Amino acid sequence: MIQRWSGTVESFDGTTVWARLRDLTNPSYPDEFAEIRLEKMYGYQRHLRRHIKPGARFIWTIRIKHVKRGVKGRKEVATSEFYFPYVSKWQWWEIHRMRRIAKRFDCFFRSQGPTPAQQQDEQCLKT
């Protein structure tokens, strides 16, 4: 790894991100501001576009990658990776799945109580 920053999106116009960067490689350096073109930012990570909005936090890492070139040759290439670790929006299917699991737990724990309620709980578990 050559360089790593923690960034916060200040503004976004659909093609360019303006961000405040904090140097993680050398924390004694002051914060920097960067203008990052979107095509440089997310190449293979196109699904991240919906998360790019003011206040969004990300990690930006620049690395040297060794690429094979021919039989004996190797080439060093600098790669730039962006990662949005703070994305916490749930998808509809995740919410639906969690509700089903919660219902099963609810039925299970209610069935641990008095025995007359067990018939109702058995029906609950079948749904």
Kindly report the CATH number assigned to the domain that includes residue 50: 2.40.50
**Which residues, 6 or more positions from 25, have their beta carbon under 8 angstroms from its beta carbon?**
1, 2, 3, 4, 5
Is residue 82 within 8 Å of 60, Cβ to Cβ?
yes
Q: Which domain holds residue 106?
A: 92-126
Could you tell me which residue, 48 or 109, shows the higher pLDDT?
109
Tokens of 76: 């060093």
Overall domain count for the chain: 2
**Are residue 71 and residue 122 in the same domain, yes or no?**
no
Asked if 96 and 79 sit in the same domain, the reply is no
- Reported as a single tens digit per residue, the pLDDT across 66-84 is 777 766 667 777 777 877 7
CA distances 16 to 9, 30, 33, 35, 110, Å, are: 10, 23, 13, 7, 54
Q: Note whether 71 and 106 are same-domain residues.
A: no
Same domain, 60 and 121: no
Q: Residue 44's pLDDT is what?
A: 47
- Cβ distance 91 to 113 under 8 Å? no
- 69 lies in the same domain as 101: no
Read off the pTM: 0.57
**Can you tell me whether residue 110 is helix, strand or coil?**
helix
Q: Does 68 share its domain with 109?
A: no
Distance from C-alpha of 62 to C-alpha of 41, rounded to nearest angstrom: 12
Q: Are residues 76 and 98 in the same domain?
A: no
Q: Tell me, what amino acid is at 28?
A: S
**Do 72 and 39 belong together in one domain?**
yes
Q: What is the DSSP string of 3-51?
A: EEEEEEEEEE-SSEEEEEEEESSSTTSPPEEEEEEHHHHHTT-GGGGGG
Q: Mean pLDDT across the stretch 3-27? A: 91
- Residue 79 neighbours by CB distance under 10 Å: 12
